[in-house]
Amino acid sequence: TAADSARRSSRAAATPAKAAAKPAPPPTASKPKAQESLVSYSDVDDELVSIFLEEAEELVDGCENSLQRWNNNNSDTESVMDLQRQLHTLKGGARMADLAPIGNLSHSLESLIIAVNDGQLPFTRDMSHVLHEAMDRLSDMLARVKVRKPIPTAENLIAHIEGLRRGESVTPPSKAPDA
């Protein structure tokens, strides 16, 4: 677009003087993957984020414990309900704190758990791996929020989870590098 061209032109005009002093960042510095973007904190309420973080770390720990119990006993409906409740609470807190990437990933996970709990999908080893990967991603996102680094949107992982929820055979996404 014209706006993109104007930005590139203004950057190009400002860059030569700085180029000798500082090397250009690698192309992946602003985006961990081509399809994912980073979300920053320009419009978030810092107090809400701090309150959210206090609860979120406990919720993610609880999710991981519930998931481990469910892995050990696939018929443990209490651990499934705990996992679903914790994800629901995490989603709501993230959205209240205006941290959409965490809310969106939590929502996707919650929807997948509901589908399994309602008997629409079987709980499989592959699904367990994706759930663990998603919990790791949520932990990484929280760590980034804690130090106010931009967080990736996790669009690829969400697309994978949504494919599983629809019963599709989908290729797992590769891990996004740290940005």
pLDDT for residue 75: 87
Structure tokens of 125?
Answer: 């080893």
The per-residue pLDDT for 17 is 36
Q: How far apart are CA 127 and CA 132, in angstroms?
A: 9
Percentage of the chain exceeding pLDDT 90 = 50
Question: What are the beta bridge partners of residue 152?
Answer: 38
What is the spatial distance between Cα 129 and Cα 82, in angstroms, rounded to a whole number? 19
pLDDT at 125 (0 to 100): 85
In this prediction, residues 6-30 reach a mean pLDDT of: 36
pLDDT tens by residue, 44-67:
678 888 889 999 999 999 999 999
| pTM value surpassing 0.75 | no
Q: How would you class 152 by CB atoms within 10 Å of its CB: exposed for 0-12, middle for 13-18, buried for 19 or more?
A: buried
Mean pLDDT estimate for the chain: 78
Number of helical H runs and strand E runs in the chain: 6, 2
Query: Which of 145, 170, 169 has the alpha carbon at shortest distance from 156?
Result: 170
Q: Is the pLDDT at 18 greater than 50, yes or no?
A: no
At CB < 8 A and 24+ separation, what contacts does 96-99 make?
Answer: 96/48, 96/52, 97/44, 97/45, 97/48, 97/49, 97/51, 97/52, 98/43, 98/44, 98/45, 98/48, 99/39, 99/44, 99/49, 99/52, 99/141, 99/145, 99/151
Is residue 132 a contact partner of residue 67, using CB atoms and an 8 Å limit?
A: yes
> What is the amino acid identity at position 53?
L
Tell which residue, 74, 78, 84, 174, has the closest CA to residue 130: 174
How far apart CA 35 and CA 153 sit, in angstroms, is 9
Q: What is the mean pLDDT of residues 134-146?
A: 94
Mean pLDDT on 116-124: 89
